[in-house]
Structure 1
Amino acid sequence: MQIISTDKEYTYDVFMDDFFRLMGEYNILESGTAGYSVLGKRIPFIRFGRGCRKILITGAHHGKEWITAMLNMALIEALCRMYGEGKRFGETNMIEFFNTRSIYFIPMVNPDGVNLCIRGLTEDIPTFTQSRLIGMNAGSREFVGLWQSNIRGVDLNHNYDALFEKGRTMEFAAGVYGPGKGRYSGEYPESEPETQAVVGLTKEINPDIVIAYHSQGEEIYYNFNGKCARGAVNIAQTLARATGYKLIEADGLTDCSGYKDWVIEHFNIPAYTIEVGKGENPLPLSQFDKIYSDNLKAVLCL
């Protein structure tokens, strides 16, 4: 029986319920806490595999992109199920895959932003914070389907130390001057606890490959500031064949202060932003089966 909920909006509560059920069902998994959100929500990580090749995968940096948290969790469940059944997936032997790789998932980087985007202003958000959010939102109380940032109005995927000041300059030119529903990079790199959680776990793991899942566009970004690590293009081409997505060279704001950018800059390893699905965020659940199928093939290529 399938554990992961794929038929409803993926709030933090649904995610955590799935997390505990998944950990209870599969004793091959390990888990821990990367950190906590501004509102104190736990940001868990899950490890599949016992091998030396370390891969780190993230989801839901952005509130409107909660479908990528669902994707992370569905991928974990699929890997566990295939391993338990001793199945092959194409040329992939799952026993060998498990013993040669350690895949770390941070499925929901931005739990506060996800809940705000799905549920709007709720009683668990302090009154002062609600007032501040309304101010950031041009006086509107409407947040459902609109919010990308964390609860402080910082776009977490622009909060990393990689051409941060250049990104700030571009934000100003684009009319982004402070906290809001998206694009604002924060006062300084890693100002937000969610970003700090991802940075801390990345440094602790010291991965060989990183994938940051976002939506939408069916695109794969593989470089930063005109450069990428040795072997990164070959892996990108493999991912593109598996998913059917286009390879894109980052430029402009997509080439500043993102997680993928920071990883390439500071670790010099292959790192990718994979934009799943097509359309307007939040993507409809009707796209999930294709997103899942495409990206399961991709993960098994790593």
Structure 2
Amino acid sequence: MTIKADYGPELMMKDLKRLVRKHPFVSTGSIGKSALGKPIPYLRIGAGPFRWHFNGACHANEWITTLLLMRFAEDYAHACSRRHPFWGKSAKDLFSRCSLWIVPMVNPDGVELVQRGMTAKHPYHKELQEWNRGSNRFHRWKANARGVDLNDQFPAHWEEERKRRGIHGPGPRDYSGEKPLSEPEAAALAQFTEQTDFQAVIALHTQGEEIYWNYRDCEPSESRAWADRLALAAGYRAVYLEGSDAGYKDWFISRFRRPGFTVEVGWGRNPLPLADFDYIYDDVARLLAEALDCAPV
């Protein structure tokens, strides 16, 4: 796997192709396209009846979550292929119990903007300069290419979140858009979730080393116990969160009444430095492997 400071959509696509060539039991496809027409790929590992979903890089400057998911997928596929233990668990057993769909980069346009900035040829060049207060530095940009925060886009008390944020136009963060699922990335993820009928989901974000597992008392009874297991595996804290709406896991929990989690990985200021990758990955891989093991036998 390529670990570089500018791990963006192109490197991810190359690594996905290489992973599928090396491990034929790994499949890949696309859930849709971004605002600028980039594919939003997924990969699938496993043949079990329990349908898990992990996603990352919903927020542009949290792109290290893509790299974490890609490394996890590579290590898991290798363990399945060699029938090796996987973070203290049987990879063969997890493979037979779970079907795992990973969307490693929900927001490819935003990630590219954070990493490369923009040129005068960018379709939103004029608007982005205005939305970014005239700055050409986008390292703090969380939104997509149209200045919408994708994790404030989901129809779970969206109006309340928009009012709470108090942001009325596009910008680097916290603008909820003109309506729920107005952005193609959020709409594609919601449609993919509906079509695949996931039984549990994890959205990786940064930072704080916390796990949010509840939403307005809609979560099922097992959610707290699962969150405690994930927290113990990673050394994170399971947190009961209030006063937040319109996120992906909020919508998933309220829509399906199934376990959904937001995991805030690492510690520091976004974007987290690649120098911290190895120790973050050690925690996150243990957490994600534990999540797979939560699936009923």
TM-score scaled by structure 2? Answer: 0.95
Residue in 1 aligned with 2:295? Answer: none
Deviation at 1:136, TM superposition (A): 0.9
In 2, the alpha carbon distance for the partners of 1:25 and 1:15 equals 15
Residue in 2 aligned with 1:136? Answer: 131
Deviation at 1:104, TM superposition (A): 0.3
In 2, the alpha carbon distance for the partners of 1:124 and 1:108 equals 23
Unmatched tracts of structure 1, length 5 or more: none
The answer to whether the aligner puts 1:49 opposite 2:51 as a matched pair is: no
Deviation at 1:135, TM superposition (A): 1.2
Residue in 2 aligned with 1:285? Answer: 274
C-alpha distance after superposition, 1:53-102 (max 9, x if no partner):
11000000011000001111011001011111111236521112111110
C-alpha spacing 1:178/1:297, structure 2 compared with 1 (3 Å): same
Task: Say if 2:87 and 2:289, in contact at 8 Å, map to a contact too.
Answer: no
In the TM superposition, structure 1's runs of 4+ consecutive aligned residues that sit over 3 Å from their partners are none
In 2, the alpha carbon distance for the partners of 1:148 and 1:124 equals 21
SS of residue matched to 2:130: helix
In 1, the alpha carbon distance for the partners of 2:267 and 2:288 equals 20
In 2, the alpha carbon distance for the partners of 1:170 and 1:296 equals 34
The answer to whether the aligner puts 1:204 opposite 2:195 as a matched pair is: yes
Give the residue type in structure 1 aligned to 2:222.
Answer: G
SS of residue matched to 2:96: helix
Task: Say if 1:230 and 1:269, in contact at 8 Å, map to a contact too.
Answer: no
Residue in 2 aligned with 1:147? Answer: 141
The answer to whether the aligner puts 1:20 opposite 2:9 as a matched pair is: no
Give the residue type in structure 2 aligned to 1:287.
Answer: D
Give the residue type in structure 2 aligned to 1:182.
Answer: R
Deviation at 1:112, TM superposition (A): 0.2
The answer to whether the aligner puts 1:62 opposite 2:82 as a matched pair is: no
In 2, the alpha carbon distance for the partners of 1:12 and 1:195 equals 17
The answer to whether the aligner puts 1:163 opposite 2:157 as a matched pair is: yes
2:257 is matched with which residue: 268, 271, 278? 268
Give the residue type in structure 1 aligned to 2:151.
Answer: N
Deviation at 1:251, TM superposition (A): 2.3
In 1, the alpha carbon distance for the partners of 2:160 and 2:106 equals 24
Percent of aligned positions with the same letter in both sequences?
A: 39
Give the residue type in structure 1 aligned to 2:236.
Answer: Y
Equivalences for residues 66-81 of structure 1 within 5 A: 66-81=63-78
Deviation at 1:230, TM superposition (A): 2.3
In 2, the alpha carbon distance for the partners of 1:222 and 1:81 equals 30
In 2, the alpha carbon distance for the partners of 1:112 and 1:63 equals 8
In 2, the alpha carbon distance for the partners of 1:109 and 1:90 equals 26
Give the residue type in structure 2 aligned to 1:51.
Answer: G
Deviation at 1:139, TM superposition (A): 2.3
Paired residues in the alignment total: 291
In 1, the alpha carbon distance for the partners of 2:121 and 2:251 equals 33
The answer to whether the aligner puts 1:248 opposite 2:234 as a matched pair is: no
Give the residue type in structure 1 aligned to 2:25.
Answer: I
Give the residue type in structure 1 aligned to 2:249.
Answer: K
SS of residue matched to 1:300: helix
C-alpha distance after superposition, 1:228-252 (max 9, x if no partner):
2221111100000011011112222
TM-score scaled by structure 1? Answer: 0.93
C-alpha distance after superposition, 1:238-275 (max 9, x if no partner):
000011011112222xx210000000000110000000
Unmatched tracts of structure 2, length 5 or more: 293-297
Task: Say if 2:253 and 2:259, in contact at 8 Å, map to a contact too.
Answer: yes
Mean Cα deviation higher: 87-96 or 20-29: 87-96
The answer to whether the aligner puts 1:181 opposite 2:176 as a matched pair is: no
C-alpha spacing 1:260/1:86, structure 2 compared with 1 (3 Å): same
Residue in 1 aligned with 2:101? Answer: 104
In 2, the alpha carbon distance for the partners of 1:148 and 1:23 equals 30
SS of residue matched to 1:179: coil
Residue in 2 aligned with 1:87? Answer: 84
